[in-house]
Amino acid sequence: MKVIFLDFDGVINSHQSCTFWHNKRDQSKWENEMYSSWQGTLFEYLAHEFCPIALSNVEELFRRVPDLKIVVSSTWRLGNTVEDLQKILSGAPLVAAAVIDTTPAFRDGPRGNEIQDWLSRHPEVAEYAIIDDDSDMLESQQERFVHTSSLHGFQYGDMLHTLRILKEGGNHG
């Protein structure tokens, strides 16, 4: 099995996408709708600032590696089930359908420990990549780590880097 450990903030949403969506809507109208007459689901509301370019780049991974699965390592996993996360990602159907699990949430320590714990319980994983804007991965995970920019999120070059890791193993750029 091939897996990506996916963060959300700084990966599929970014400072740039949040600024774009914030500026695109009329703030007073949005606040009125948000607080008094929001017609969408909670999940649509949560996903309203995802970056369409970043999501498109994640979807491209699934076009190129159809058997790829997602383990959500983002703090968005806290208080959300796998089904909730699939609904949050429903605007990107290939991505939503690939979510299979979440990493455990430890109180202390780097996110890399949570990923390592998950991997130790899933020996069927043949290849994996970690996509995150934070750098709290273990030394042993650095070759499989794609460090995104929180300003821009998951870019095309990040997608190619992830693809090389999944197809060849290790860090190639």
Tokens of 107: 């109180």
Q: Which two tokens stand for residue 45?
A: 């509301």
Q: Considering the domain boundaries, does residue 39 fall inside one?
A: yes
Structure tokens at 134: 């934070």
In a domain, residue 173? The reply is no
One-letter amino acid of 106:
F
Confidence class of residue 98 from pLDDT cuts 50, 70 and 90? very high
Domains in the chain: how many in total? 1
Range of the domain at 137: 2-168
The confidence score (pLDDT) of residue 49 equals: 72
pTM of the model: 0.84
Each residue of 58-94: pLDDT tens digit?
999 999 999 999 999 999 899 899 999 998 888 888 8
Task: Please indicate, yes or no, if residue 157 is contained in any of the structural domains.
Answer: yes
**What is the structure's pLDDT at 60?**
95
Virtual torsion, Cα 9, 166, 69, 108, nearest 10 deg: -50
pLDDT of residue 129 exceeding 90:
yes
The domain that holds 120 is classified in CATH as 3.40.50
Residue 141 placed within a domain: yes
